[in-house]
Chains A and B, each alone.
Chain A
Amino acid sequence: MSAPAPALRLAGIEAFYGTAQALFGVDLDVPAGSVTVLLGRNGAGKSTTLKAAMGLVNVQAGRVFIGSRDVTGVPSYKVARAGLGYVPETRRVFAGLSVEENLVVGERAADAGVAVWTRERIFDLFPPLAGMRARLAGQLSGGEQQMLTIARTLMGNPRIVLLDEPSEGLAPVIVQQIAATIQTLAAEGLTVLLSEQNVRFAMHVASRAAVIERGRILVEGPIADIAADDSVREAYLTP
């Protein structure tokens, strides 16, 4: 019996910023329905890996598969339509648009067999947003903006969600809310790949982990094993 194809597979990705190489052959499988965390230090290549999956950086070698579909070199709007949702690191809400308008931008009809998100369900998931539909996104707090970016991506009804350092720069109570949100998404059947530096947060939400250092994946496996491995922790995860 062969294992089912992973929801997202990166194979031998080499990515560049201008002439500077950032990824040196990243291999990563994200099993369907899992919450996988990409751990690593600043500059290790976490964000670039997510951007490479999304088609937002210059990928010179390697392949990206969503399910069995090869999306290497495909424009990012098509990658998004293939079911990949992207929540960027710096949140990047459309500051001059209202909360509701931000959701309108993300809105897209669902494929068959995917959890369908409506604005009402979004506001159930993020009650604080419901009360500020008409407010400009630029006027929201950091935590509210983080909710809005996740909400905006969910409006596209993705099958896989990429979250780039969702806990960064947020107050502990907000971080807990984000963790709860990720667990809700997993319960809905979504596949999640997030990048993190915060190992405690990662252990709380993820079932699998991969450690990236200098543009290469070092280890990959159940998060408990990786977090328990002192040598990995010492060498690659302490800031």
Chain B
Amino acid sequence: MSFIVVQAITGLASAASLFLIAVGLSIVFGVTRVVNFAHGSLYMLGAYLAFSFVAAFGESFLGYLAAILLAAIVVGGVGAVMETSLLRRIYRAPELFQLLATFGVVLVVQDLTRLIWGADDLFAPRMPGLDGAIQFLGHAVPQYDLFLIAVAFVVLGALWLLFRHTRFGVLVRAATEDREMVAALGIDQRWLFTGAFILGAALAGLGGALQIPRQAASLSMDLNIIVDAFVVVVVGGMGSIMGAFVAAVLISELLAFGVVIFPEITLVLIFMVMAVTLVLKPSGLFGRPEFTMAEDRRNPDPPLRAGDGLSRIFWWFLLVAGVAAPLVIGDFAVVVLTEIAILALFAASLHFLLWGGGLITFGHAAYFGLGAYGSGLAVFHLSLGMAPALLLAPLAGAAGALLFGWFCVRLSGIYMAMLTLAFAQMAWSAAFQWVGFTGGDNGILGVWPSAWASDPVVFYYLAFVVCAAVIWGLRHTVFSPFGYTLRATRDSALRAAAIGVDVTRHRWLAFTLAGAAAGVAGGFFAFAKGSVFPDVLFVSTSVDGLVMVLLGGLQSLAGPILGAIVFTEIETELTRLTDLWQLFLGLLIIVLVVVLPHGLVGLSALVRRRSS
């Protein structure tokens, strides 16, 4: 019994910091409708800043407290800069672009933090005066844990006062309900948005700063916490403060006890809570249902024609270049080219979902990774050869997409993006935690092609032919009756349903098809690399795919191919020259979203229009 109480207290202490970050995310979303991926970066920044401030003047209890508060204030300032310089430009952009742009900030902040503070984990001293433990029912409970719990309640109370008893708070609540009406009543929303964002950023910074006596400041804290915070916000209800509090406690207690009962699947458990919540009550425990309703796209893309002269030339050129290239380029270039072919298929399958179905996925890595693991595990555990292992890849991708897709296609917009992300992270954590089966962090090694395909050139041709065929198949699907129906559900789900289309089923099928195609790419990727690591399932793989699609241009079938080529080339060249690849990629994403939302294809169309 006493063990349960102590474990519950530990859970509450974790809930405290989770609440601080999630509530900020929730407030910012409520007012601006932007899900800020970089919220975790602000949390990380808070931890690093607090570390430096503590080193400077944190010897006493008050000095330490001042260091924590100063870190929160500085992060609030960073938030102000971020809101006024970037977010303000993307409030009207589609959700996908908002997510990507803020993910770009994640990458930039990560590299900058590494430049300033170094790559090693930083351990701060414990907080003076709270470095001991008190005895409780025969167990030692850290004093700092109790302090954290107290801080959470103080913040909850302060937020309650702010939102109930100040004009700013009332305006924020009003704006969360109906922004247009608030503007029509003469309120300049810009300062409201900035104010809410500063508040959210400062809370994230506070959460991070408060973490340093408990855990080292590290470069992975941002993405680790943001995914948990997404779960909390979704479960609690977007825009709800009480929801964030209740869900933070729920999730943290689940983790605290889950670790004891099912240590291998605790992470999976969290995402299952999220998935179940989204299916049963999409708006979350305390959320408002209208946030979950998707608007129909107001400016549908112009209809796509089955290829005018120019695009036909592009496809033939690609085919000829792909066949002829190995004859003229060196061995290393062939390896790069193989990767391009594989990633082009990955990007094309993602594009099929995004553009063809209008389905916003932020977790396409799941199906790519499942394909890779499907092949890798078949080789490792079943000693299968390359051909049967490759055949398993699309099945693994499709099976995962069939299962996850059942949940995901019932949602739309930002909720769908977050659930797809959650499922991908679930797959990632399974690969990461289930060491006995997947090798965990050490990955699966020795996934080499069969003898007949061991020559890089032969393997390239195999990959090229299969990937090109699958891409052709996807393209064909877009122009099939199924593809037309799918695009109808994209342009207006309501109207499509009104003429008798089963929207959910079409989306589910599209999801599964795209999953199978991504699985093929993943299978080849495993054999191209000779190994499979959990990274293939990580959110950064999904983002790479999204960048390729965006880089090429969302409105064209050639976009993802072009994007994969350019992206892989840039990455290959840049990682050789500098270790600031992430910084560059982050800036590239931000520039793409803000300046070039139609990608390279859009750029060429723009140039053509200007010159004619």
Contact = CB atoms under 8 A, between A and B. Distances in A.
A81 B186 contact: yes
Interface stretch (A86-94, A124-132, A201-209, A228-236): A86-94
A86 B182 contact: no
Interface in B155-173: 167, 170-171, 173
A81 B184 CA distance: 9
A97 B186 contact: no
A153 interface: yes
A77 B188 contact: yes
B184 A80 contact: yes
State the main secondary structure of chain B at its contact with A.
helix
B184 A94 contact: no
B186 A108 contact: yes
Contact of A56 (B173, B174, B180, B298): B180
B170 A77 contact: no
A18 interface: yes
A94 B177 CA distance: 6
Contacts of A153: 185
B170 A97 contact: yes
Contact of B185 (A19, A96, A106): A106
A105 interface: yes
A19 B298 CA distance: 8
A101 B185 CA distance: 13
B171 to A, nearest CB: 6
A76 interface: yes
Given A18-B298, A97-B173, A105-B174, A56 B184 contact: yes
Contacts of B182: 105
Contacts of A156: 185-186
B299 A92 contact: no
B170 A54 contact: no
Contacts of B183: 75-77, 80
A46 interface: no
Contacts of B299: 18-19
B180 A96 contact: no
Contacts of B174: 94, 97, 101-102, 105
Nearest to B164: A101
B277 interface: no
Given A19-B299, A77-B189, A96-B177, A105 B170 contact: yes
Contacts of B171: 105
B453 interface: no
Contact of A105 (B180, B185, B188, B288): B185
Interface string B392-428: 0000000000000000000000000000000000000
A86 B184 contact: yes
B59 interface: no
A108 B299 CA distance: 36
B606 interface: no
Given A19-B299, A94-B173, A77 B186 contact: yes
B192 to A, nearest CB: 10
B384 interface: no
B494 interface: no
A92 B189 CA distance: 18
Interface residues of A, number: 27
B187 interface: yes
Interface in A192-236: none
B186 A54 contact: no
B181 interface: yes
A31 to B, nearest CB: 23
Nearest to B186: A80
B455 interface: no
B189 to A, nearest CB: 7
Contacts of B298: 17-18
B494 to A, nearest CB: 15
A54 B180 CA distance: 11
Interface in A78-114: 78, 80-81, 86, 88, 92, 94-97, 101-102, 104-106, 108
Contacts of B181: 88, 92, 94
B182 to A, nearest CB: 7
Contacts of A92: 178, 181
Contacts of A95: 177
A81 B183 CA distance: 10
Interface in B17-38: none
Contacts of A17: 298
Chain A CB within 10 Å — which of B167, B178, B184, B189 has the most?
B184
A16 to B, nearest CB: 10
B257 to A, nearest CB: 34
A109 to B, nearest CB: 10
Nearest to A149: B181
A104 B177 contact: no
A152 interface: yes
Contacts of A104: 167, 170
Interface string B182-210: 11111111000000000000000000000
A88 B181 CA distance: 8
A101 B177 CA distance: 13
A54 B184 contact: yes
Contact of A152 (B173, B180, B185, B189): B185
Nearest to B189: A77
A82 B562 CA distance: 50
Interface string A149-167: 0001100100000000000
15 contacts: A18-B298, A19-B299, A56-B180, A75-B183, A78-B188, A80-B185, A80-B186, A94-B174, A94-B177, A97-B174, A97-B177, A101-B173, A104-B170, A106-B186, A152-B185
Closest 3 CB pairs of A and B: A80-B186, A18-B298, A105-B174
Interface of B: 167, 170-171, 173-174, 177-178, 180-189, 288, 298-299
Given A17-B298, A97-B170, A101-B174, 5 more contacts: A80-B186, A86-B184, A96-B177, A105-B185, A105-B187
Interface of A: 17-19, 54, 56, 75-78, 80-81, 86, 88, 92, 94-97, 101-102, 104-106, 108, 152-153, 156
